[in-house]
Chain A
């Protein structure tokens, strides 16, 4: 999905990350490149513009970490903006837990409503719902027949009134039919309609008025161009849908509309539909999509994780503990976990300016971290906060529990003792000064 966009953005980012430092000129070059990437990906013109403006503003802002390169920083900002545009977190389908749930499908012709209706019915019946498919597309030849055939494939009943020219009545009667037959989820497939077709827009509005859906889904072809935002907005203004479904995402579309629709109508994208098979339906994860767009490049993940993990408050807490000489195994474990989340020790050290070349040939063994972690985890809470109680039998137990030798446990405890001694030295005047420098080193 969206591989193309990923590639293009990576290309654009390379240009940025190749720079030693950011200045107005090379930002504008890179931003122009990103703009091109977005427009080629069918991101709406205005959304793209806003995106670029935000990135620019933030890039020129003050939140600059000196421990990352300017290129990494702009990457981080782009990623954040992209995630935000995509809608933050994934959004669940609204289902009525007790009474009947009515789900109404709306959208343009050929967006994939009928196929998706069947997919959703299958998806929900797997989740212990009892769906009913309602065929209310009275216009397209054989649309009702199509839904009937799909319904029989997945063993979901299909309701319609043969020969009826009244979509509102079909929808209304289907809800009553579901109630009578103990079906709890009614999925109403409607005819594709252009948002400029007043008659048909009135029809779908009156279906909404009549059946009062729990959830209205706007089905959109992910290959749609600039106009996606216009049709989405028109449908939104008319029926105020609850969520968006992106179809045909198994193709090579760059999926710009995934970025822009939410920005324009402020409704979450709830599902991704990825093929003609009736089980090819996925819950839509905006953050996953954003990561995918930027690729899983080291740069993104390092910058992202560095900022997440070196959470300012946590670091400050740790610093206070160091200064108060209260650093124990518990804190040590926290640090190890932090480091592990950030990736390998070597790559982490590589992020420190000047360190990269210094550690190039150094042998940094990440397995040591895992060993240390396992030893600490085998300690009781009391042992962690008060290492003095660690006598021979306790050490033996820890070694057994963590699958290490007693020598290894001894070595760790000894090293930890030395560390604490070192930290005591930090408590001296020069130590404080050193810590202060470290702080500046991380924050601007």
Chain B
């Protein structure tokens, strides 16, 4: 059972319009009027894919598969080329997709604890606000823990989101130990019989070892209060990020055992490529995507719909 649907899927499509326009139109331009797909066309496809941040390696893999597939195909017209690529990309995303968290799972672990991590400016706090709202809307009792005790006004920012979502928030004064906030939050959640706990953390570059160790400590503390917590650790990745997103995923995985990705800011231009790469190379599924600044601008990630939206012809 899904907890929240793709409330405004059209928004995703709107957001992806630019990307789609690029890929589809350029493939169309490239392919239309040509009976056979040639090397130059495949090279053009490579450019399209690379400028979408899909990464050289992944792009070349897709091209290669396309090349092989097309050799067998009789129909090398526009639609066929698109279909081959689309299938290829969708299957890359499907490989590690787990689908959204369901209520049975939450009931089993209650309180179900989700730790949110990521580099500075990725959109963690906004995402926590949106997640809280969505979980609340699906009838769950949510508690937010404000474990970003470092950044100026992080508390105030999350507090506003908690108010908007109508959920409880646990926080300590700026500068206190984030693990202590995590500890308090879980105790409040247990006491109030909450279903789900969202722990927001300070942004940290994956290269700062001491800050990464801090995440380890937070995880340890969570596990002490609630068995097996955190049940999910989501890495928030800015959809604008290039190849560094792969390293981020790799490093955060080392310290926190990631169970999913949330890709934000997908309502801009030329995004999405990073999703393919992380899925292919890091074997971490994308769980949600952020497509705007409003509280309902967060969606379940659905690989098929995602690729379809990416490639749908106008």
Q: Is B241's CB under 8 angstroms from A141's CB? A: no
CB neighbours (8 Å) of A149 from chain B are 152-153
CB neighbours (8 Å) of B47 from chain A are 45
Q: Is the interface of A mostly helix, strand, loop or mixed?
A: loop
Q: Which residues of A contact B (CB under 8 A)?
A: 36, 39-42, 44-45, 108-112, 139-143, 145-150, 153, 194-196, 221, 223-228, 230-231, 248, 250-254, 256-257, 276
Q: A40-B243, A112-B121, A250-B205 are in contact. Are A45 and B50 (CB under 8 A)?
A: yes
What are the 5 A-B residue pairs with the smallest beta carbon separation, nearest first? A225-B242, A110-B121, A42-B242, A146-B153, A141-B160
CB neighbours (8 Å) of A230 from chain B are 269-270
Q: Is A251's CB under 8 angstroms from B274's CB? A: no
6 A-B contacts, Cβ less than 8 Å apart? A141-B160, A225-B241, A225-B273, A227-B268, A228-B242, A257-B242
Q: A195-B269, A248-B205, A251-B205 are in contact. Are A227 and B50 (CB under 8 A)?
A: no
Bound CA–CA A41/B56 (angstroms): 10
- What 1/0 flags go to B32-76 for Cβ under 8 Å of A? 000000000000000100111101100000000000000000000
Asked if B230 CB lies within 8 Å of chain A CBs, one says: no
Bound CA–CA A251/B205 (angstroms): 6
CB neighbours (8 Å) of A153 from chain B are 152
Q: A110-B122, A194-B268 are in contact. Are A42 and B153 (CB under 8 A)?
A: no
Besides A110-B121, A141-B160, A146-B154, 4 more A-B contacts (Cβ < 8 Å) are A142-B155, A196-B268, A231-B240, A254-B244
Asked if B161 CB lies within 8 Å of chain A CBs, one says: yes
CB neighbours (8 Å) of A228 from chain B are 240, 242
CB neighbours (8 Å) of B159 from chain A are 142
Determine which of A140, A195, A223 lies in contact with B119 in the assembled complex, contact meaning CB atoms within 8 Å.
A223
Q: A110-B265, A230-B269 are in contact. Are A251 and B157 (CB under 8 A)?
A: no
Bound CA–CA A148/B152 (angstroms): 9
CB neighbours (8 Å) of A109 from chain B are 121, 123, 265, 293
Bound CA–CA A140/B242 (angstroms): 24
| Chain A proximity of B133: nearest CB distance (Å) | 13
Name A39's closest neighbour in chain B (CB-CB).
B56
CB neighbours (8 Å) of A250 from chain B are 205, 207
Q: Is B269's CB under 8 angstroms from A227's CB? A: yes
CB neighbours (8 Å) of B242 from chain A are 42, 223-226, 228, 253, 256-257
Bound CA–CA A250/B207 (angstroms): 8
CB neighbours (8 Å) of A226 from chain B are 50-53, 242, 270, 273
Name B60's closest neighbour in chain A (CB-CB).
A36
| Chain A proximity of B238: nearest CB distance (Å) | 6
Asked if B13 CB lies within 8 Å of chain A CBs, one says: no
- What 1/0 flags go to B145-189 for Cβ under 8 Å of A? 000001111111101110000000000000000000000000000
CB neighbours (8 Å) of B150 from chain A are 276
CB neighbours (8 Å) of A231 from chain B are 240, 268-269
| Chain B proximity of A9: nearest CB distance (Å) | 15
CB neighbours (8 Å) of B152 from chain A are 145-147, 149-150, 153
Bound CA–CA A199/B53 (angstroms): 27
Query: In this complex, which of A148, A221, A257 has the most chain B Cβ atoms within 10 angstroms of its Cβ?
Result: A221
Query: In this complex, which of B241, B271, B273 has the most chain A Cβ atoms within 10 angstroms of its Cβ?
Result: B241
Q: Is B244's CB under 8 angstroms from A108's CB? A: no
CB neighbours (8 Å) of A44 from chain B are 51
Bound CA–CA A148/B174 (angstroms): 14
Bound CA–CA A223/B237 (angstroms): 11
| Chain A proximity of B295: nearest CB distance (Å) | 11
CB neighbours (8 Å) of B247 from chain A are 252
| Chain B proximity of A379: nearest CB distance (Å) | 54
CB interface residues, B 184-198, toward A, < 8 Å: none
